[in-house]
Structure 1
Amino acid sequence: MIANKEVQHLENSAVKLTVTVEKDAAKKQYQDLLANYAKHAQIRGFRKGKAPAKILEQKYGEGIREEATVKLIEESLKQVFEEIEEKPLPYSQPELADEKELGKIEDGEDFTFAVVYDVYPDVKLGSYEGFEIEVPEVKVTKKDEDRELEKIQEQNSMVVEKAEGAKAAKDDIVTVNYVELDGEGKEKDESRREDFVFTVGTEYNLYKFDDDIIGMAKNEEKLIEKSFPEDYDYKELAGKSVKIKVVVTAIKEKQVPELDDELAQDVSDKYETLADLRKDIRRQLEESLEKKFREVKSEAIFDKIIEGSELAVPTSMLTAELENSWQRFVQQSRMPEDQLVQFLQIQGKSKETVFEEWKPQAERSLKVQLLMEKIIEKESPEVTDDEVEAEIRKQAEENGQEFDELKEAFEKNGLMEMVKNDLRNRKGFDLLIEKNKIKTGKKADYLDFMQDKQ
C-alpha cells in the first residue's frame, strides 16, 4: 500500500511526513467507497442500489472523493506510524501540508500527501554537575512565629456591632449608603449605592472617603467634598471635584482573641497550650523554608543546565501546558470561565495576552521537566516499594487519613507509579545538590525570602 515515506525535521521539534500511496491502493479506496454508495443510493428514476456508477459520480462525486481521500490518509498514517520512530505527540494532531497540491485518488496515479506534526523533542543534555550557586542565609525567628500567631488571631476574631453611640474608627467595618450630587445639589441616581460595606482605612471604595467617615455615628449623614488628581485610580473621577452624601447605617468592630492556651485549644484539639501551637508553627515554617530552599537551588542549577543543553519545546506541548495552567487559574479564581474572561477584559487583558505573559515560564518549566527526565534516565535512581509505602504513610498522617485506605485508593486509581515517579524526581534533585556546590550568601529576612523580595 505504502510506496514511499519521508520524514523531514523542522524547527521546534516538528516534522513533515510525506507519504506516497501506491496507485492501485488509492484507486481501490475510491472505487470501494463508490460501490458501497451504489448499494444504498436512492436516485430518482432508478431502483435502490441500481443507479450506474457514472450517475453517482455526477451527483455525489466530489463528496465521495473527499471522504475516500480522508479514509485513505487515515489508514496510511496508521500504518506509517507503526513503522517510524517519529510518532506525533498525544496532543499534536497531524495537519495536512500543501493541501491544494493533493491529487485525485481515482486518477490511476500514486497518491502523495504530507502532514506536519510535533514529535518528542531531541534533548541534548549538557553538564549538570560542578556548578557553584549561592543562596541567602535565612532562619525562622520568633518574629516569624509571632506573625503567624497574629494571622491565627485574625482568623479566630469575631465581628460585632459597636456599642450604641460609638463612632467609626480606623479598621472598623462600616455599612454606608451614598450618592453623588450634581452641581445643583440633586442626587445622581446612577451613582447611588445602598448597603455598601468596607473596612475603614483600606480605601476599598470609589471615592476613598475613609478619613471622612472616621468619627461618624450610626445613622449620621454627612456631605463630603472630594477633589481627585489627574492620575486618580478611577478615570471617571480623575481631575474632578465632587460632593457625596453619605449615611452610615452600621458600625462593627473586630474583636481579636487573646494569645493564650484557650486560643490554641480552639485552633485544634491537638494543642493543649499556646507553647504547643507555637512549636507546631515553627515546624511548619521551617518545612516551608526547606521547600523554598529546594526550589531556589533547583532554579539556580537548572538555569545553568538549560544554558548548556540543547532542546526545542514543541509548540503543541507548550500550548497544552498553557491550557493546563489556564484551567488551574480558572479553578483558583472560583469564577465561571466566561466571567473570568470578562474580568480580564476590564483590566485590558485577554486569555491570549495572559498566555503571552505565562509563555516564558511555561517554556522554562517544560525544559526543566525534559532535562530532569534525561538526568534520571542517565543516573537511574532506584525507588523501592518500602519507600513508596513510607511516602503514602506520610501523606496519610498529614491529611488525617488511614494508611490502608489511602494506599488502597492509590492502587485502585493507578497512582502508585505516580508516587514512585515523584520520589524518583526528588532523588534526582538530591543528586543534583550533591553534584554541585551550594554557597551560603548574605542574610535575608524569612518573609522577604519566601516572597522573593530578598
Structure 2
Amino acid sequence: MVKEKKIEQLDNSAVKLTITVEQDAVRSEYDTLLKEYARNAQIKGFRKGKVPPAVLERKFGESIRHEASQKSLENALRSVFDEIEEKPLPYCTPTLTDEPDFSMESDMTFAVTYDVFPEITIGEYDGIQVEEPQVSISKDDEKRELEQLQEQNAVVVEKENAAIKDGHIVTLNYQELNEDGTPTENTRREDFTFTVGSGYNLYQLDSDIAGLKKGDSKKITKTFAEDYEHSELAGQTRTIEVEITAVKEKDLPAIDDELAQDVSEKYETIDDLKKDIRNRLEKNLETRLRQIKVDQVMDTLVENSTIPVPASMLDAELENSWHRFVHQFRAAEDQVLQLLQMQGKTKDELLEEWRPAAEKNLKRSLITQKLIELEKIEVSDDELEEELKEQAEGSGTSLEELKEYFTKQGMMPYLKQDLQERKAQDALLAKAKIKKGKKSGYLDVVQPNQ
C-alpha cells in the first residue's frame, strides 16, 4: 500500500513524514466505499441497493473521494508508524502539512509533521563543582520548634472585658459604608476571626481595633496606598464599620513533661521530645542540603547538554501544571478562571509565566532519564521493599497495608521510577566536586522563601 516514505528532522525534536500511497490502494479504498454507498443509499426513483454507480458518483462523488482520501491517509499512517522508530508523542496529533491530491489515476502523496521523543546529547558530568552551605542547628532553632508545638497545644480562652491587643484572637462583623452612612451592598461579613497583629484581614484593621472590647462598635475610615496588596482597595478611601463579637487569648502550656506527653504518647519526658526535635531538624537539613547540591549539578548539566524540548511536550507539562493549580483551589475550573479575571489575568498569561520553569523542569527530567539509561540504573526488589518499609514507618501504617495501597492504586511503577531518579542523582553527586560554601542559618537554607 505504501509506496514510499521519507522522514525529515525539524527543529525542537519535530519531524516531517512524507508518504506516497500506491494508486491501486487508493482506487481500492474508493471502490470499497462506493459499494457501501450502493448498498445503503436511498435515492428517489431507485430501490435501496439498486442505485447505479454512475448516479452515486454524480450525487456523492466528492464526499466519497474525500472519505477515501482520509481512509487511505489514516491507513498509511498506521502502517508506517508500526514500522518506524520516529513515532509521535502520545499527546501530539500529527498535523497535515501538504494536502493530498486525491486522484485515482496516480499515486497519492501527503506529509504530516509531529513531535517525537527528543534525542539528548548529555554534557560531561564528571567533576561538576558544587557549593554546599555550612549550616549548624542552633539552640534557637530547637527552641523555635518547641514553641511551635507549645502554640499548637495552647487552649483558647474567652476574655470578656479585655481590651484588644496584639496576640488576641478577635471575632467581628464588618461592612463598608457609603458616603451617606448606609451599608455598601455585598460588603457585610459576619463572624470573621483573625489574630491581632498578623495582618491577615482585608482592611488590615489590627491597630484600628486596639483597645476595643467585646460588644464595642467603631467606624474606621482608611486610605490605602497605591501599591496596597489588595488591588481592589489600592488608592481608595473606605469607611468600615466593625462590631466586636468575641475576644479570646491563647493560654500556652508549660514546656514540661506533660506537654511532651500531650504532643505524642511516644514521649515520656520533655527531653524525649527535644531529642526527637533535634533528629527531625537534622534530617530536614540533610534532605535540603542534598537537594541544593542536586539542583546545582542539574543546572550545570542542563547548560552543558543539548536538550530539544518538543512543543507538545511543553504544552502538556503546562496543562498538567494548570490542572494541579485548579485542584489546589478545590473549586471548578470556571471559578478559578473568574478569580484570575478579577486579578486582571488570563489562563494563557499565567501559563506563559510558568513556561520557563516548566521547560527547565522538563529538561531536568529528560536528563535524569538519560542518566538512568547511561548508568544502567536499576532498582531491586529489596530496595523497593526497603523504601516501602521506611514510608510505612514514617506514616504509621503497616508495611502490608502500604503495599496493598500502592498496588491497588497502580503506584508501584511510580515508586520504582522515583527510586531510579534518586539513584541517578546520587550517581551525579558521587562524581561532583563539593566545596564548602558560606555559613548560613538553618531557616535560611531549609525555608529560604519564608
Task: Name the CA distance, whole Å, in 2 between partners of 1:376 and 1:189.
Answer: 61
Deviations 1:127-185 (A, max 9, x none): 011222212101222222222222223333333322x3222222222233334444454
SS where residue 313 of structure 1 aligns? coil
Distance 1:370 1:228, change over 3 A: closer
Distance 1:191 1:399, change over 3 A: closer
Give the aligned residue type for 1:116. Answer: T
Task: Name the CA distance, whole Å, in 2 between partners of 1:328 and 1:229.
Answer: 34
Equivalent residue, structure 1, for 2:353: 357
Equivalent residue, structure 2, for 1:104: 102
Equivalent residue, structure 1, for 2:312: 316
Task: Name the CA distance, whole Å, in 1 between partners of 2:21 and 2:221.
Answer: 82
Task: Name the CA distance, whole Å, in 2 between partners of 1:188 and 1:383.
Answer: 64
Contact 2:220–2:239 (8 Å) recurs in 1: yes
Equivalent residue, structure 2, for 1:51: 51
C-alpha displacement at 1:393, in angstroms? 1.6
Q: Which moved more, 1:348-357 or 1:312-321?
A: 348-357
Equivalent residue, structure 2, for 1:274: 270
Task: Name the CA distance, whole Å, in 2 between partners of 1:242 and 1:361.
Answer: 39
Deviations 1:179-227 (A, max 9, x none): 4444454554554444333332233444433222111122222233434
- Tell me whether 1:444 sits opposite 2:443 in the alignment: no
For 1:134-213, what aligned pairs fall within 5 Å after superposition?
134-162=131-159, 164-189=160-185, 191-213=187-209
Q: How many corresponding residue pairs? A: 450
For 1:332-371, what aligned pairs fall within 5 Å after superposition?
332-371=328-367
C-alpha displacement at 1:336, in angstroms? 2.4
Task: Name the CA distance, whole Å, in 1 between partners of 2:408 and 2:221.
Answer: 67
SS where residue 19 of structure 1 aligns? strand
For 1:298-313, what aligned pairs fall within 5 Å after superposition?
298-313=294-309
Contact 2:177–2:241 (8 Å) recurs in 1: yes
Equivalent residue, structure 2, for 1:69: 69
Task: Name the CA distance, whole Å, in 2 between partners of 1:192 and 1:7.
Answer: 66
Distance 1:69 1:434, change over 3 A: same
Task: Name the CA distance, whole Å, in 1 between partners of 2:401 and 2:188.
Answer: 56
Distance 1:209 1:312, change over 3 A: same
Q: For the aligned residues, what is the CA RMSD?
A: 2.4
SS where residue 264 of structure 1 aligns? helix
Give the aligned residue type for 2:264. Answer: S
Give the aligned residue type for 1:304. Answer: T
C-alpha displacement at 1:35, in angstroms? 0.8
Distance 1:55 1:141, change over 3 A: farther
Give the aligned residue type for 1:7. Answer: I
- Tell me whether 1:36 sits opposite 2:36 in the alignment: yes
Identity of aligned residues (%): 53
SS where residue 392 of structure 1 aligns? helix
Contact 2:2–2:20 (8 Å) recurs in 1: yes
Contact 2:133–2:289 (8 Å) recurs in 1: no
Task: Name the CA distance, whole Å, in 2 between partners of 1:32 and 1:157.
Answer: 80
TM-score (norm 1): 0.91
Determine which of 109, 113, 118 is the counterpart of 2:115.
118
Distance 1:328 1:274, change over 3 A: farther
Give the aligned residue type for 2:101. Answer: G
C-alpha displacement at 1:78, in angstroms? 1.0
Task: Name the CA distance, whole Å, in 1 between partners of 2:326 and 2:177.
Answer: 40
Q: Which moved more, 1:62-71 or 1:300-309?
A: 62-71
Specify every segment of 5 or more residues in structure 2 that has no aligned partner in the other structure, as ranges.
none
Q: Which moved more, 1:185-194 or 1:35-44?
A: 185-194
Deviations 1:334-372 (A, max 9, x none): 232222222222222222222222211211122122222
